[in-house]
Structures are given as structure tokens and as C-alpha cells.
Amino acid sequence: MPNVAAQIERIYRDVVHRNPGELEFHQAVKEVIESLVPVLRKHPHYAEHRIIERICEPERQIIFRVPWQDDAGQVQINRGFRVQFNSALGPYKGGLRFHPSVYLGIVKFLGFEQIFKNAVTGMPIGGAKGGSDFDPKGRSDGEVMRFCQSFMTELHRHIGEYTDVPAGDIGVGAREIGYLFGQYKRLTNRYESATLTGKSPTWGGALVRREATGYGVAFFLDEMLQARGESLDGKTCVVSGSGNVAVYAIEKIHELGGKVVACSDSDGVIHHKAGIDLDTLKQLKEVERRRIKDYVDIHRDAEYHPGACIWHVPCDVAVPCATQNELDGEAAKRLVANGCRAVAEGANMPTNPEGIKVFQDAGVAYGPGKAANAGGVSTSALEMQQNASRDAWSFDFTERRLREIMKEIHRSCYETAEEYGSPGNYVLGANIVGFTRVAEPMVAFGVI
Ligand code: NDP
Ligand code: 2IT
């Protein structure tokens, strides 16, 4: 019997060596492949076919120049990325992120996570991610449009309904998807709806896609709590971020009986003991594109803490919905000390490895992003289904489908963790479910 743990360690060292400086990518790879030791013991043929080594190497990486003109007539240059990581289960699928921190290591960690997340959904989609170091903050609609048009002028030749289907992520919402789709349609002379998801429902988008990631996180949370004989009813919750995922996580948590008392952005934290007022938050963030500090002008009983750490706010349930590594070991210890019993990740990889260990050691119900935030991409796959059949489903029907999908994701991760002797370990469950679903077709396809 080969020493499987040593084999995995070798693969990890090789990934670090071959991808220097890509720290987030190393982190994502380490977490997944360390979960796979029992899988390789049970299925030695995955090692013979070198499935893990192949999964860690993207099928294709595209990096391109994105030149555009700002409102002052100045030429600006950004860098665009699309990493098409794995297409064993279907066309590449995953979001685009526009944020100044974007570089290859971020796009690769997100694309790598997306492979397993998409497999966990049970839908026929491969894994990819893309984006740019473009910062949309403070830019006019015209500047965002010209940037998106330039970005798509290069990207269009690499994507398509049967090839690669991008969607939104940080900094990319319905406005950006509109500009991107418009340019794609113009360049290709094809109204190929299913090339992008997250479209407006007025021209081919699925109802519930906007809400899907946040709603899905709340559904997953509800499933985790139910598995422990508990519910969200009456629970005090803290949701970081105040973007698309955070807003709709708050909406559904409130509907399921929880009370969200804090949210944030990269400048500070709103703490509102009476419960975050969602109408105000939506008006500020979705309609007026303002900062959350303005919330306290409308709700005088709320507090704004610039530069504060949201995880210091006491809660029963924590829902990180901002960005990677926003919750470290210290923050996790503080949450546990304040009585937090459940964590569901709306963001991708928001809890760092020390934080995850703190939660697992303390017996906190911890739902990793790959499982907990998979409602967004699942509903993107439902959008592709509707586009393929030229159909449009009702809000209620689509939300019911989403609820069933999240229930099934929870069940498969929960049961797999039990099967592999780690009950309640959703990290192990999600990684093993995702990996085995991708590994099977990779073996079947031969060496490609
Ligand atoms: P948005 O752009 O709508 O919102 C992002 C939020 O996170 C903002 O409040 C933003 O604050 C905050 N944020 C972003 N970067 C940082 C940072 N470096 N430090 C502190 N705060 C930050 O994005 P989404 O809501 O769509 O995405 C949030 C998370 O959810 C991301 O991790 C994304 O990958 C993940 N996700 C998104 C899905 C989707 O369907 N949209 C699906 C699955 C996961 P500020 O405005 O100050 O920058
Ligand atoms: O991280 C994610 O799953 C997303 N940003 C959504 C991807 C998608 O294709 O809907």
C-alpha cells in the first residue's frame, strides 16, 4: 500500500513549486487535497490515473490586456483573466470578479474551488473563473460600459453556451452582465442567451438568480441547524459584506425567523440591535450605490464602527459574505467565546485554515462555501436550462427548485462525511463528493 498521505504532500509541494506566489491558490488546493487521503485509499486507481495532479493544473489560462478610455479621455489599462479549470462535467462555468486585488492567484483559487462546488450541485457544469483588476468603485456607468466592452472584445472568442459560461462575482452584477452580453451579441451576431448567466429577467435571465446565492446560504444554514435538532428561529445572526450575497442572505434569514444585527463593507461595520432594515440597505446599496456608513443617518438607533471587525459582534450564527480570508483564527476564537454555534459561508474561502480548525474543534456547525454558497451557480445552471428550452419559470417554482438543490447538497455532504468516518465535517463531505464526481468522467475520458 503506497503512503497516500506522503503522496498528497508531494502533490501539494509540486503545486507550490509550479505556481509561485499564488498564495490563495495554494491554500485552496491544500484544503481540498488533504481531504482526499481516505478517497485515494479506497480508490487507488485515481492515483494511477494521476487525477489529483491533473485537476490541479488548469485546462487553459487566458490573460489579456483591457485598454479603455475614462471620462476624462485618459487611456486606462487593466488586465483580464479567464482560467478554464476543468470541463469533465460540462462547459466551464463560474463568475467574473472586478476588484483591484485580482491577480492570477485569486482567479485560480476561485476557479479551483468552482470545480468542486459545481460538481457538488449535481448540475452538468465544469469549473472556471475570471475577472480583472479593474476597480468599478467611483466609476461612471459610461466608464464601466467601456471597460466591459473592451473586456468582452477579447473574451468573446473563448466563451459560448457549450464552451464557457461566465456570470457575476464581486464587482460584477446585472449592470455589468448587461454590458458584457450586449458586446458579445454585437461581436458574434448571435443572440446566444446561455453564454452568460445573471442576466436581467427582462432579457433572458432567471428569476431568483439575483437572490440565489444569499437565499441558498440561508437554506443551507437551516439544513445544518435542522440536522442538530435546531432552527434559525430566534437566532441572532451577523452577516459580513453588504453586496449581492449579503443582502439576500439577510432577507432569507429574516424570513426563516433569524435576526441579523450587523453587516459591513471594507470601510466599517453597521451594528443595529433592532435588526438590519433591509429596505434601507437595498435602497443604499442597490439603487443609490452608496456606502453603509450612511445607514445610521436613516436609523439613529444603529451604530457605525469604522475599521471595526464584524466578528466581535456577539451572535449565534455567523455568515461571512464578503471576501477570502476575512475570518481568521483570532476572529473564530472570539465568535466561539461569544457563543456562536453555526457558520455558513456565502463568500468563497472566507475562513482561513486556523479559523476552520477553531470552529471544528469547538463543534461549531461549519458549512464551507463550496457547499453553502452553491445556490448561486445552481440557479445559473437553471438559467441555462430555461434559455436552452426558451422557457421562463415563475419565481416560486424556481425558488422551490433552489431549496431542493440546497437540501440535496446538504444531504450528500452530510452523508459522505459520515461514510468516511467524520460525522458533521462538511469540509470533508463537500470535497469528497465534488472530487469523486469529477474524477469518474476524467478516468472515463482517458489521458486528456
Ligand atoms: P458584491 O460586489 O456585490 O459585494 C461584495 C461585498 O464584499 C461588499 O460589501 C464589499 O465591500 C465586500 N468586500 C469585497 N472585497 C472586500 C475586501 N477585500 N475587504 C473587505 N470587504 C470586501 O459581491 P458578491 O456579494 O457577489 O460577492 C461576495 C462574496 O460571495 C465573494 O466572496 C464572492 O466570491 C462570493 N460568491 C458570490 C456569488 C454570486 O452569485 N454573486 C456566488 C457564490 C459566492 P466594499 O463595497 O467596501 O468593497
Ligand atoms: O462563486 C460563484 O459560485 C459565483 N460567483 C457564481 C458563478 C456562476 O456561474 O453563477
* Same domain for 123 and 23: no
CA 74 to ligand 2 centroid distance, Å: 32
Return the axis-axis angle of helices 209-227 and 395-419, rounded to nearest 10°: 40
Please indicate, yes or no, if residue 423 is contained in any of the structural domains: no
Q: What is the pLDDT of residue 424?
A: 97
* DSSP secondary structure of 100-114: TT--HHHHHHHHHHH
* Same domain for 220 and 368: yes
Q: Which of 125, 163, 164, 380, when mutated, tests ligand 2's pocket best, judged by the most ligand atoms within 8 Å of its CB? A: 380
Please indicate, yes or no, if residue 446 is contained in any of the structural domains: no
| CB-based contacts of 20, cutoff 8 Å, min separation 6 | none
CB-based burial label for 75 (10 Å; 0-12, 13-18, 19+) = exposed
Please indicate, yes or no, if residue 437 is contained in any of the structural domains: no
Q: Residue 163: give its domain's CATH number.
A: 3.40.50.10860
CA 340 to ligand 2 centroid distance, Å: 27
Catalytic residue among 93, 129, 259, 285: 129
Please indicate, yes or no, if residue 184 is contained in any of the structural domains: yes
CA 320 to ligand 1 centroid distance, Å: 10
Q: Is 273 a catalytic residue?
A: no
Q: What is the pLDDT of residue 55?
A: 98
Q: Residue 260: give its domain's CATH number.
A: 3.40.50.720
Q: What is the pLDDT of residue 2?
A: 72
Please indicate, yes or no, if residue 42 is contained in any of the structural domains: yes
| Neighbour count for residue 170 (Cβ, 10 Å) | 25
- Domain end point (choices 147, 162, 191): 191
- Domain span including residue 28: 4-55
Please answer whether residues 448 and 87 qualify as being in contact, where contact means their C-beta atoms are separated by less than 8 angstroms.
no
Domains in the chain: how many in total? 3
Q: What is the pLDDT of residue 1?
A: 57
* Same domain for 32 and 83: no
* Same domain for 69 and 48: no
* Same domain for 305 and 243: yes
Please indicate, yes or no, if residue 202 is contained in any of the structural domains: no
Q: Give the closest ligand to the alpha carbon of residue 381.
A: 2
The one-digit pLDDT tens for each residue of the chain (448 residues) are: 579 999 999 999 999 999 999 999 999 999 999 999 999 999 999 999 999 999 999 999 999 999 999 999 999 999 999 999 999 999 999 999 999 999 999 999 999 999 999 999 999 999 999 999 999 999 999 999 999 999 999 999 999 999 999 999 999 999 999 999 999 999 999 999 999 999 999 999 999 999 999 999 999 999 999 999 999 999 999 999 999 999 999 999 999 999 999 999 999 999 999 999 999 999 999 999 999 999 999 999 999 999 999 999 999 999 999 999 999 999 999 999 999 999 999 999 999 999 999 999 999 999 999 999 999 999 999 999 999 999 999 999 999 999 999 999 999 999 999 999 999 999 999 999 999 999 999 999 999 9
- Domain end point (choices 158, 191, 224): 191
User: Which is the closest atom of ligand 2 to the Cα of 348?
Assistant: 1
SS3 content of the chain, % helix, strand, coil (to 5): 50, 15, 35
Pair type for strands 317-319 and 303-306: unpaired
- Domain end point (choices 347, 372, 397): 372
Please indicate, yes or no, if residue 418 is contained in any of the structural domains: no
Question: What are the CA-CA distances from residue 409 to residues 301, 317, 363, 383 (Å)?
Answer: 39, 20, 21, 19
* Same domain for 361 and 228: yes
* Same domain for 50 and 68: no
